[in-house]
C-alpha cells in the first residue's frame, strides 16, 4: 500500500512525444539524419488536419474511410536530425519508404546509416528523394532507437498493441547483437557511460 504523504511523488514512466520530421520549411527541403531504426515502419494514414493512422487497416471501423477518403501509405524511421540533433520520426512517402525498405533488406539494417532527404527541383512539393551513406560513428556510439510503433500509436491515439500486431515488434538489442549489428556488450557499455 502506498503512502498518501511522502517527500516526493513516485517515479513516473516518462513517455516522450517524438516530432515528425518531413522535408519542408521546418526541417529544410534537404536534410540528413542518422538512422536509429533497424528498418522502416509503413502504415496507411489519412490527413484530417493532422496525420492519423487508418483504423480499417487494423480491422476497426475507420471514420475517414467511411467518408470515402483513400488512405495514403507512409513510412517512418527513428532518426537524429543532422543539424538540430533532435530525435524524431522521419516520415517518408510510399515510394521513398519502398527504397528505404529495399536498402534495409540489402544491407541488413538502416541503423548506422545517414539518410539524406531532398525534394526534386528543391521545391517543397517536389518528389521526395532519399539516399544513404555510412555513418562516421561506430554502432556502439549510436543511441538506441525508441519504439517507433509506440510513438506512432501515441501520435495517432491508437492502442499500441493494435499497431504491434500489424507492424511487428522492433528488434531487441540482443537480437541486433546476434545479427552482428552491435558488438556484444557495446550497448551496455554505451548506456553505462551516461551517453544514452
Q: Is 14 inside a domain boundary? A: no
How many independent structural domains does the chain possess?
1
User: What distance in Å separates the CA atoms of residue 171 and residue 173, rounded to the nearest whole number?
Assistant: 7
Q: Is 4 inside a domain boundary? A: no
pLDDT, greater one: 15 or 23: 23
Q: pLDDT tens across 70-106, in order?
A: 999 999 999 999 999 999 999 999 999 999 999 999 9
Pair 181, 109: CB distance under 8 Å? yes
Q: Is 109 inside a domain boundary? A: yes
As a whole number, the mean pLDDT across the chain is: 80
- Domain coverage including residue 58: 20-192
Q: Is 1 inside a domain boundary? A: no
- Cell triple for residue 78? 527513428
Name the least confident of 119-133, 155-169, 173-187.
173-187
Q: Is 13 inside a domain boundary? A: no
Taking 90 as the threshold, does the pLDDT of residue 178 lie above it?
Answer: no
Pair 96, 129: CB distance under 8 Å? yes
Picking from 153, 31, 35, the residue whose alpha carbon sits closest to that of residue 101 is 35
Q: pLDDT tens across 139-177, in order?
A: 888 999 988 988 998 888 888 777 766 665 554 444 444
Amino acid at each position: 500500500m502506498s503512502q498518501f504523504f511522502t517527500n516526493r511523488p513516485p517515479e513516473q514512466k516518462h513517455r516522450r512525444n517524438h516530432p515528425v520530421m518531413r522535408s519542408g520549411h521546418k526541417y529544410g527541403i534537404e536534410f540528413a539524419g542518422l538512422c536509429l531504426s533497424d528498418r522502416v515502419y509503413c502504415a496507411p494514414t489519412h490527413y484530417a488536419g493532422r496525420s492519423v493512422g487508418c483504423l480499417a487497416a487494423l480491422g476497426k471501423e475507420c471514420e475517414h474511410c467511411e467518408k470515402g477518403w483513400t488512405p495514403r501509405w507512409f513510412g517512418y524511421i527513428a532518426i537524429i536530425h543532422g543539424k538540430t540533433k533532435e530525435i524524431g520520426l522521419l516520415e517518408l512517402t510510399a515510394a521513398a519508404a519502398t527504397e528505404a525498405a529495399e536498402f534495409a533488406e540489402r544491407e541488413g539494417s538502416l541503423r548506422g546509416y545517414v539518410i539524406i532527404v531532398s525534394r526534386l527541383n528543391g521545391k517543397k512539393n517536389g518528389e521526395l528523394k532519399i539516399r544513404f551513406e555510412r555513418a562516421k560513428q561506430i554502432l556502439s556510439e549510436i543511441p538506441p532507437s525508441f519504439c517507433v510503433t509506440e510513438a506512432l500509436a501515441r501520435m495517432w491515439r491508437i492502442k499500441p498493441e493494435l499497431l504491434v500486431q500489424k507492424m511487428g515488434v522492433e528488434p531487441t538489442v540482443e537480437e541486433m547483437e546476434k545479427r552482428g549489428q552491435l558488438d556484444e556488450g557495446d550497448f551496455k557499455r554505451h548506456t553505462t557511460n551516461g551517453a544514452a
